[in-house]
Structure 1
Amino acid sequence: MRLRTAAVLTLSVSLLALGACSSVRQGIGLTKVTPDEFLTVSTAPLTVPPEYGLRPPAPGQPRPQELAPESA
Structure 2
Amino acid sequence: MKATEKDIEETGLVGVIMLTAGIIGAAVIPIFSDKSLKRKPFLIVGAGQISGIIFIFGINKFGIPSFLLD
TM-score by length of 2: 0.33
The structure with the largest helix share of the pair is 2
TM-score in terms of structure 1 length: 0.32
